[in-house]
Amino acid sequence: MRSLAVFLREATGVIVIFLTMLTFDEINGWNTNELLLLFSFVYVTYGILIIFFTGLRDFEFLVNTGQFDRFLLRPRGALFQVIASNSDWFAAIGHGALGICLFIFSANNVQIVWNFWNIIYCICSIIGGVFIQAAIFLVVASLSFFFIKTGSIRELLYWNTRKFANYPISIFPKFVKIFMTYIIPFAFVNYFPTTYLLDKDSGEFLGKTFCYITPVIGIVMFGAAYLFWNYSLKHYKSTGN
């Protein structure tokens, strides 16, 4: 029931877009099915993300309650313990099921050719998208060592940014494109993979090469976030209990 509740909650946003597109045939060259494919990458990647990285998403609560102290006393890496400490299966099933349904429906309607390379590309892009989002959560988790309460930062860097990713970033002003590509690169989670699969022009500002490097961006971002975690951990001071 909780997974169904998550599914229905997230589906309301998709329904709003669908109803909007009944009035407008397309948005900057993107029709309804193409937008649904864009949505599907967000939900599928988040569904996988939340299986493995819920501990990072909710890390500030470990710091606030002093529970993180226990992880430092055990003979395992602190980050490994945080990642392994929790999985939000209810959200994973809800988001993942919605993403899979949207992907199957939209991919069938836009008639993507599923050859070997497109399948490999899609799998690699999903993995890269998961690591990009995990890196964002890891950076926010690392900031918990300095600020204790990081809910507002997480809301700004992840959830608010993800709202922009629900639409093709080509419709936004240049500064939003820069933000979504170079600062919080959510465009690599869904926009560039979708433009590749649809063989669409990603825009003059956004080079075609960007469609191929989502896995690289994911690995580089997570590696950089891991270095920041190690640096921040040295500044941790327990909040007590």
Q: Per residue of the chain (241 residues), what is the pLDDT tens digit?
A: 989 999 999 899 888 888 887 787 788 888 889 999 999 999 999 999 999 999 999 999 998 888 899 999 998 899 999 999 999 999 999 999 999 999 999 999 998 888 999 999 999 999 999 999 999 999 999 999 998 788 899 999 999 999 898 889 988 998 999 999 999 999 999 999 999 999 887 665 556 788 889 999 999 999 999 999 999 999 888 876 5
Domain ranges of the chain: 2-233
The type of residue at 193 is P
At residue 137, the pLDDT reads 97
Those residues with Cβ within 8 angstroms of residue 163's Cβ, 6 or more apart along the chain or in another chain? none
C-alpha–C-alpha distance, residues 4 and 6, integer Å: 5
241 exposure class (CB count in 10 Å sphere: 0-12, 13-18, 19+): exposed
pTM equals 0.92
Q: H-type helices in 65-206, by residue range?
A: 68-72, 78-84, 89-109, 116-147, 151-154, 160-165, 174-178, 191-198
